[in-house]
Structure 1
């Protein structure tokens, strides 16, 4: 597609990461559709959502096209999902406030990011999901504060069920990416992500509902590892 036909200022690709069952899929559906799906269906491989928004940054409105990638939390899909880390500009790292194990795994997810993301210090927003279930909360405020301070991560509590702080969490990540973009001239890897204009080949990816998500969006490239994953029969 010709550059003249692009009707947005920035394309941003975000990945939602975290253990299986923390609510990543419900989080993204709540953000894009304003709906909550109570039936749990584990994501298989990679799923995909998108949304347009007008974001005001430093007094100027920017048209942003968000590509939101929903990754499987299970270990058996890790080799597939990490192949998509390098081309993401930001990460929503989600844990379940009612499941301490999902919180304890945050350090491992951050290590995966440092190994596979575009930078050893990528833009991440830490989200404690299911805050509406306060009666069965298993992760204390003190635990979260200690971890977020340790890794210098912005933290926000969300509820995919009620929609509480979902939009705010995504916009928090947008703001961090916009801030980093101001220094894009000194960050060659982020510059690569922002200036990609080659068309992404159509690929088939299994979705959480057992259907196929067919993609054909511009401004993205597949790495060799992603190309190999096109034939995955996970």
Structure 2
């Protein structure tokens, strides 16, 4: 008998995606949840999706339910976001690989907002729009790694929602961090 996710959901985790407006958060979420690329408009307030995926806990295959919260990045929505960050189990910081200011804003704007409204939770750094980056104009790896360290992200990824490059792996990575890495593990809602 094959492994069925729906029969084996053990945890429900709240994952938040934060970053400036237009960096690609909604496109990444749509690619992951619906296997499609939609050239979307800016998210107003927030968008919410549910998804289930397989994971491993102590070598055992389990199912994990995700509540994916995609926050609109425009400044006018930020005062509203703090209440929706509460209870998050993991955060994905997203920047546009063609817009340096979006990387800087993760430290200046998004990190303080997340820290003010969560306990210590795992995070990853995601560079979006890999498919349109000019290799000669790519951000210096040292600068990206410095931002990764400042925001406390354990891992960093480059992704493309348009091509699907690394979109699934970022969600699997944040789930595995929540499951494996003390002090994060077991903070979600255990269903079994």
Residue 14 of structure 1 corresponds to: 15
Higher CA-based Rg: 1
Give the aligned partner of residue 177 of structure 1: 178
1:152 Cα deviation (Å)?
Answer: 3.9
C-alpha RMSD of matched pairs (Å): 2.1
Equivalence map 1:14-163=2 (5 Å): 14-38=15-39, 40-107=40-107, 108-117=109-118, 119=119, 121-135=120-134, 137=137, 139-153=139-153, 154-163=155-164
Residues 129 and 159 of structure 1 are in contact (CA less than 8 Å); yes or no, is this contact kept in structure 2? yes
CA contact (8 A) 2:49 2:69 kept: yes
Shift of 1:183: 6.6
Q: Could you say which residue in structure 1 is the equivalent of 2:189?
A: 194
Shift, 1:7, TM fit: 5.8
The offset of 1:143, in angstroms, is 1.2
Segments of 5+ residues of structure 2 without an aligned counterpart are 1-6
Q: Deviation above 6 Å: which 4+ runs of structure 1?
A: none
Partners of 1:65 and 1:27 in 2: CA distance: 18
> What TM-score results when the alignment is normalised by the length of structure 2?
0.86
| 1:13 positional shift | 1.0
Quote the offset at 1:194 in angstroms: 2.4
Deviations 1:161-217 (A, max 9, x none): 1111111111110011112477768xxxx3xx525x8xxxxxxxxxxxxxxxxxxxx
Please state whether the residue corresponding to 2:52 is helix, strand or coil: strand
**Cα distance, 1:69 vs structure 2:** 1.0
TM-score, scaled relative to structure 1: 0.71
